[in-house]
Amino acid sequence: MTTQPVTQYPPALVPQHLFDDSAAEARWRARFHAARMSAPEWALDAAEANLYVSNVSGVWEVYAWNRTTDEHRKVTDRPNGTLHSTLSPDGTWIWWFNDTDGDEFGSWVRQPFTGPGEPEPAIADVPDGYPAGLEIGHELIAIGVSTDEGSALYAHSAGKTTRFYSTDDDASISALSRDERLLAISHSEHGDSRHPAVRVLTATDFSTVVDKWDGEGKGLAALEFSPVHGDSRLLVLHERRGREELLIWDVDADAETELDLGLPGEVVATWYPDASALLVVHFHQGRSSLHRYDLATGALSALDTPPGRIGGAGVRPDGTVEYSWSSAATPPLIRARAPEGEDRVLLQPPGEPAPGSAPVTDAFVEGAGGQIHALVSRPEGAPDGPLPTLFSLHGGPHAADEDRFSAYRAVWLDAGFAVVEVNYRGSTGYGSTWRDAIEGRPGLTELEDVAALHDWAVNSGLADPERCVVNGASWGGYLSLLALGTQPDRWAGGVAGVPVADYVAAYEDEMEQLRSFDRALFGGTPEDIPAVYDECSPITYVEAVKAPVLVLAGDNDPRCPIRQIENYLNRLAARKVPFEFYRYDAGHGSLVIAETVNQVAIEVYFAQRAVGLR
């Protein structure tokens, strides 16, 4: 249900256009409206049945692709869009997660792959909740559900549903063996959901086969069992040497093989269909690449792709690798690489492709916690000398900015801003120590790195110190509000999308999965360590905010709930600090392209006024 604010906050201004030049105006909008799609995924035993998500209708929805007939069919049609879907292994059913207006709370439904057919409850006696993993077999289905009471894991077989695991802590379904004999789950019974353990159960009585935890500060993530029937090998991510690497765990033998690939950075992988090799996606310094690792010989071979980002990849039954690729300058493409090496465009969304943009360069700056990596973009044709500069802070916090195509970055460049994307401490891809450095002092730790990049940008002549804007969404929105209060002299303005603004109130209202995450990140609950939450909360520093603030928030957001944002805005209003507020009827962001374009126009127009470009 949409709530109404008690206080009428100053509304955000929506410009009729961002650019006086009609070609520039058309170009930035075309980047957002251009049709895009994800790399396809296919059914385990019916490779002709494929799914992908696309914005071709103006809303991100699920599409089915029958590769035998080459028919593409829109499956879902909901006002706020649909992202999460998968196929039954025989390819007959499409499963998708049905929430309400983007609130992420709901249940799985299914409908026939071939259509027509109305969606029906997939497993009727599994209660609604936040999704916590799903594995669909021929005979067994495992579903994870998270609610305010904790996590519950269910199995459905032979018409009967069993709740086989429940806990107050975070837990989820991870992987199901090909013969549906073994089921892997992730759990945090040791009290740290950020560094989970893996337990493998029998799928008959759900007794524990073996439990694996690497100890404090070292998480394990079960990726997938071997795709070969009777093969009990489980592909696992570990961080025993301070970064995410791969191991293969033969569950039946309880024997491990750690894979030392000799690559810098971090990796993730999936099996080749015959389980003889792994397709490895390697991430290093904001860019990713593809490799084939032969399990018999230990040979690692690169599948040559240009520098950029791999957005998704899989191996077809014939050994063809299909993947999504983009770079900062080049819009995404869905490509197919044959075993012989031929690489071609596999799918081209309808309509005109998105206009390109400027490339990114790298900056490496020494900070209090070590070397900070940032991606830097400068507007094409910009005059010499310092520029208005946007410091863009990614969400997560465990994520990273990459050399990928971004219509969002591009419009800021078109508007005359240099853009600095900071992979602060807490970011992934730079090792476990870098990722976990924010524990016990989140927010303030990351902002030390942002300050170091700000100093570098000013001293190098890139940024005009009087015209710097801090910006981000989700965790990036939290950091933006915290920066405005703790670094008030650095910023001419701040934009915070779906932020944490009052951490104590956010903890009270957010989904349980995030409360578990926060307990692990902060070191306890707000009742346990109130001083830490107070020190790291933007509302604590609201009296120091000087620059104008723009806040955008969704009514149905379970991650950064609306009440705690209103608490912050009420404090701003009492101080008469200039601010604007945009409220929309969705959750943690929007899947509707027109809504996204509207919000981007609001953000850029606000920042232009803050730095004197309007």
Separation CA 87–CA 94 (nearest Å): 5
Q: What is the pTM of this model?
A: 0.96
- pLDDT for 116 equals 83
Classify residue 13 by its DSSP letter: P
Maximal CA-CA distance, the chain: 70
- pLDDT for 7 equals 67
- pLDDT for 212 equals 96
Mean local confidence (pLDDT), 465-471:
98
Mean local confidence (pLDDT), 383-393:
95
Q: What tokens appear for 55 in the block?
A: 């914005």
The 10s digit of each residue's pLDDT in 498-520 is: 999 999 999 999 998 999 999 99
Among all chains, which residue has been given the structure tokens 């706020």? 80
The 10s digit of each residue's pLDDT in 142-194 is: 999 999 999 999 999 999 999 999 999 999 999 999 999 999 999 999 999 99
- pLDDT for 4 equals 45
Residue type, 92: T
- pLDDT for 2 equals 40
- pLDDT for 90 equals 98
Calculate the dihedral angle through the C-alpha atoms of 136, 121, 111, 133, rounding to the nearest 10 degrees: -30
Mean local confidence (pLDDT), 335-348:
95
Mean local confidence (pLDDT), 560-571:
96
Q: Is the dihedral of CA 521, 527, 530, 536 positive or negative?
A: positive
CB of 449 closer than 8 Å to CB of 372: yes
Separation CA 145–CA 157 (nearest Å): 17
Sheet holding 463-473, edge to edge: 361-367, 370-377, 418-423, 387-393, 463-473, 493-497, 549-554, 579-584
Q: Is the dihedral of CA 516, 518, 521, 522 positive or negative?
A: negative
CA angle in degrees (0–180, nearest 5) for 327-329-333: 50
The 10s digit of each residue's pLDDT in 108-141 is: 999 999 988 899 999 999 999 999 999 999 999 9
CA angle in degrees (0–180, nearest 5) for 338-342-345: 85
- pLDDT for 8 equals 87
Q: In 320-403, where do the E strands start and end?
A: 321-326, 333-337, 343-347, 361-367, 370-377, 387-393
pLDDT-above-90 percentage for the chain: 95
- pLDDT for 3 equals 43
